[in-house]
Amino acid sequence: MSGEGTIAAIATGLTDSGIGIIRISGENALSVGNSLFRTPSGKAALINVQSRLMQYGYAVNENDEIIDEVMAVVMRSPKSYTGEDTVEIQCHGGVLVMRKILEASLNFGARLAQPGEFTKRAFLNGRLDLARAEAVMDIISSRSEYALSSSVSQLRGKLSEKVKSLRKNLIYEIAYIESALDDPEHISLDGYGERLSENIDSLILQIKKLLSTVNDGKFIREGIDTVILGKPNVGKSSLLNYLIGEDRAIVTEIAGTTRDVLTEHVTLDGIGLNLVDTAGIRDTEDTVEKIGVDRAKQYAQNADLILYVVDISQALDDRDRDIIPLMRDKNVIVLLNKNDLETVVSEEDIYRLFEEFYPERKKPVCIRISLKDESGVDIFRNVVKEMFFHGEMMTNAEIIITNERHAEAFREAYDSLCNVKKSIENGMPEDFYSIDLMSAYSSLGRITGEEVGDDLANEIFSKFCMGK
């Protein structure tokens, strides 16, 4: 058992809601809960209550005054989230009520939990490894279906199982080398380098496959930074409003209505887009609008995807030529808007315009749309999938690396295994293999927390919410 004292916190959002939960965990959790809870007959009845059985009653303060009508449940060690004795009080979800019950639990001997301390105790008590513990927070912060699916997969232990399998393979080779060096009369290393080389090739291939998912993982977890560019009055703000399903941006026929950037997050078919609607790109004497145009250019530089909106009922002009240079080396979808009107701009016109600036790049994707009758807009969802995920999204059976800390550990393990391969090719002594094999083993151990120091663990859990 690990952890100092008995901790308590509000486990639900600190806002008015239907139900609020106060969680208490630690060696004296049952005593604190027993002092806090009363049955309808006025008895303190949590010490000997059956584990995981809901009890109806009242929460009381240190003066035995009723705070609220509640349900209470006891989860005894080790079969609880933290691995410790745990009590949860479910009350009405008013902020004042939750705070009063929390205050009473502190007066009865608990202390206020630090951010992430419940999950940290689950990690320290062996209920969760570090990768699964981090998945808890990822689930809470998931902003798309694919991010949630990936986090649930990690919480179920698929990444951890993979890491354990790789480490088991490595520790076998390390033990074999050490045993052979200690007892050369009985354990031979003849031909070992060739056999080890084949095993290393397999391990390198497995880690390389995992690292190939890092970019997908970033987009799944954080969303695709998407900037909407175009001249004034081409339909940029109308596009933003359509995608988010509400009138977030002001839409008028007056050029320069959008004078600053507007940001929104939207999920389309499980894909998260961090949308940025920008001021129309043009030369202007208006100081505020000019700042907005400059910001639009800055956002374009950092975008993962640019949605270039073109009014195809109006001819292309020099303002379009001012916008095209902002899209160098970017993923670009050209939305040919106002397709319901008589058009004067074609896909070929767009291709020629891009070729004028970037003759070496492939043609941008062009989609004809009409925001007025909402035609064609859905097509670009599939285009985004193809552009960023090669048309295939992950299944529950796949492991996607969404955490940069994990990615860095895999990179270090990969480099160490490549060093082993070089040592074998160069005919180095076997103890050289052992050094890099151990380095790879340690790097992978950081993912699950078996090779992690207190400082890193504290930093990771400090990012969690208070009641988790």
Q: pLDDT by residue (tens digit) across 9-57?
A: 999 988 888 999 999 999 999 999 999 999 999 888 888 889 999 999 9
- Encode pLDDT of 284-331 as tens digits: 555 555 666 677 788 888 899 999 999 999 999 988 888 888 888 889
Which pLDDT belongs to residue 430? 86
When pLDDT is averaged across residues 230-251 and rounded to a whole number, the result is 75
For residue 255, pLDDT over 50 is answered with: no
Q: Which class for 308: exposed (0-12), middle (13-18), buried (19 or more C-beta within 10 A)? A: buried
* Structural domains of the chain in order of their starting residue, each with its CATH number: 7-128 (3.30.1360.120), 134-213+401-449 (1.20.120.430), 222-389 (3.40.50.300)
Give phi and psi for 275, each to the nearest 5: -85, 140
Indicate whether this model's pTM tops 0.75. Answer: yes
Residues 6+ apart with CB under 8 A from 430: 177, 180, 181, 189, 192, 193
Which pLDDT belongs to residue 254? 37
Could you say which DSSP state residue 375 is in?
B
Could you say which DSSP state residue 164 is in?
H
CA distance 461 to 397: 28
Closest CA to 196 of 433, 431, 411, 427: 433
CA distance 423 to 70: 66
- Encode pLDDT of 135-171 as tens digits: 988 888 887 788 888 888 888 999 999 999 999 999 9
Average predicted confidence (pLDDT) for the chain:
87
Task: pLDDT band for 60, please (50, 70, 90 cuts).
Answer: very high
- Encode pLDDT of 430-454 as tens digits: 888 999 999 999 999 999 998 777 7
Closest CA to 398 of 158, 165, 118, 76: 158
Query: Coil, strand, or helix at residue 310?
Result: strand
When pLDDT is averaged across residues 250-263 and rounded to a whole number, the result is 50
Which pLDDT belongs to residue 259? 42
Question: Ramachandran region of residue 311, left (φ > 0), alpha (ψ -120 to 50) or beta?
Answer: beta
For residue 279, pLDDT over 70 is answered with: no
Task: pLDDT band for 385, please (50, 70, 90 cuts).
Answer: confident
When pLDDT is averaged across residues 97-118 and rounded to a whole number, the result is 95
Which pLDDT belongs to residue 110? 96
With beta carbons less than 8 A apart as the criterion, state whether 375 and 369 touch.
yes
For residue 199, pLDDT over 80 is answered with: yes
Distances in Å between the Cα of 250 and the Cα atoms of 62, 217, 239, 267 are: 55, 34, 11, 21
For residue 391, pLDDT over 70 is answered with: no
When pLDDT is averaged across residues 367-375 and rounded to a whole number, the result is 85
- Encode pLDDT of 80-102 as tens digits: 999 999 999 999 999 999 999 99
Which pLDDT belongs to residue 1? 40
3-12, 83-92, 176-185, 280-289 — most confident range:
83-92
The H or E element containing residue 336 is strand 331-337
Q: Which two tokens stand for residue 122?
A: 């689950």
Which pLDDT belongs to residue 103? 97
Question: Ramachandran region of residue 16, left (φ > 0), alpha (ψ -120 to 50) or beta?
Answer: beta
Distances in Å between the Cα of 413 and the Cα atoms of 130, 182, 223 are: 18, 26, 27
When pLDDT is averaged across residues 253-265 and rounded to a whole number, the result is 58
